[in-house]
Amino acid sequence: MLKQSRTPGGERLRALRQHAGKTQLAVELEADLGSGYLQRVESGKVAQPERKTLERILSALEANYRARAEVLDLFGYTAAKPLPSRRDVAWACRACRPDLEAALMPAYLLDCGQRLLAWNRAVLPLLGLGPDDPEMEQLRYRCVIDAWYNPHSRLYALIAEPEQFLAQMMRALLHEMQPFRQEAWCRLLFKRWLSELPLFRDYWSKTISDERSAIAARSTEYWGLKAPDGALLQFRLTVEYVRPDPRFRLLCFLPADAETIQRCALWARR
């Protein structure tokens, strides 16, 4: 009699269950499965469980987003893209901290909801803030779009040429949010921006009809910002998605001219 071959999905579920320290029976009870069902999935005897069944198993295992996406993909399903949980955010902050600390130019971490999660020391002098200024901490977990498109915010005050900058920002935003546009949280987020931010609504209306906006990327354009003393700084923004969870990304402001390079070097020495 031929031995049943295990599937990659079944093997991954087994590894997740063992890592969680749970027995097959305990998971079956919690996921409301029949006795022996999980054993058959793990061994490959059930090659294609229903999606809802897999979701219940993954919930019983308390699997994080990355594990859920991997398991669902192995069984041929596309994972939903919810807003990151607190546990996901904590992981991303830990994972990106070395890169943020090593960067000599301003850099910060965002999630797919455009929430500011972490930043490096070079962001503070760009904003004209000291290391212990509570205003920076007040921005943590806040949506940066709310600040960039608010004429009364500190971030908006940095913009050298608002008309050009906000148009670039809108094109980049539409490009980056494309993978999430079918998610309920994303639709609600755009609805709030359109209702609460008149500037956002104006630039969205101008940009959404422009077919070029669908392929625009941050790294192809220069971004002009004003230093606290009024000096004009030129940056090129680069985006690095955090693997294996692309709901997070690091944005780095690369100096694009000699004046900006010198200013960033001064901030790094301080």
| Predicted confidence (pLDDT) per residue in 101-116, tens digit | 999 899 999 999 999 9
Q: Are 237 and 251 in contact (CB under 8 A)?
A: yes
Tell me what pLDDT residue 5 has: 60
Tell me what pLDDT residue 133 has: 85
DSSP string, 85-98: -HHHHHHHHHHHHH
Mean pLDDT of 205-210: 82
Residue 212 forms part of a structural domain: yes
Q: Nearest Cα to 220, choosing from 237, 241, 203, 242?
A: 237
On the question of a cis peptide bond just before residue 244, with omega within 30 degrees of 0, the verdict is yes
Residue 120 shares a structural domain with residue 100: yes
Residue 36, sorted as left (phi over 0), alpha (psi -120 to 50) or beta, turns out to be left
Is the pLDDT confidence value at 217 over 70? no
Residue 52 forms part of a structural domain: yes
- Torsions phi, psi of 162, nearest 5? -55, -40
DSSP, res 230: S
Task: For residue 161, give the amino acid letter.
Answer: E
Tell me what pLDDT residue 267 has: 86
Residue 2 forms part of a structural domain: no
Residue 96 shares a structural domain with residue 213: yes
Residue 3 forms part of a structural domain: no
Q: Which tokens hold the place of 255?
A: 């100096």
Residue 248 shares a structural domain with residue 127: yes
Mean pLDDT of 137-145: 93
Residue 62 shares a structural domain with residue 106: no
Burial class (CB in 10 A: 0-12, 13-18, 19+), 82: middle
Q: How far apart are CA 40 and CA 47, in angstroms?
A: 9
Q: Are 35 and 28 in contact (CB under 8 A)?
A: yes
- Torsions phi, psi of 155, nearest 5? -65, -40
3-state secondary structure of 151: coil
pLDDT tens for 152-194 read 999 999 999 999 999 999 999 999 999 999 999 999 999 999 9
Domain boundary residue, one of 26, 53, 74: 74
Residue 62 shares a structural domain with residue 96: no
Q: Which tokens hold the place of 24?
A: 């097959």
Residue 79 forms part of a structural domain: no
What residues contact 232, with CB distance under 8 A and at least 6 apart?
160, 224, 225, 226, 259
Q: Nearest Cα to 192, choosing from 99, 93, 84, 113?
A: 113
Residue with token string 């859920």: 68
Residue 234 forms part of a structural domain: yes
Residue 81 forms part of a structural domain: no
Which residues are 237's β-sheet partners?
253
| Averaged confidence pLDDT in the chain | 90
Residue 46 shares a structural domain with residue 144: no
Domain range for 235: 86-269
Domain boundary residue, one of 44, 74, 104: 74
Neighbours of 255 (CB within 10 A): 19
Domain boundary residue, one of 74, 104, 129: 74
Residue 260 shares a structural domain with residue 155: yes
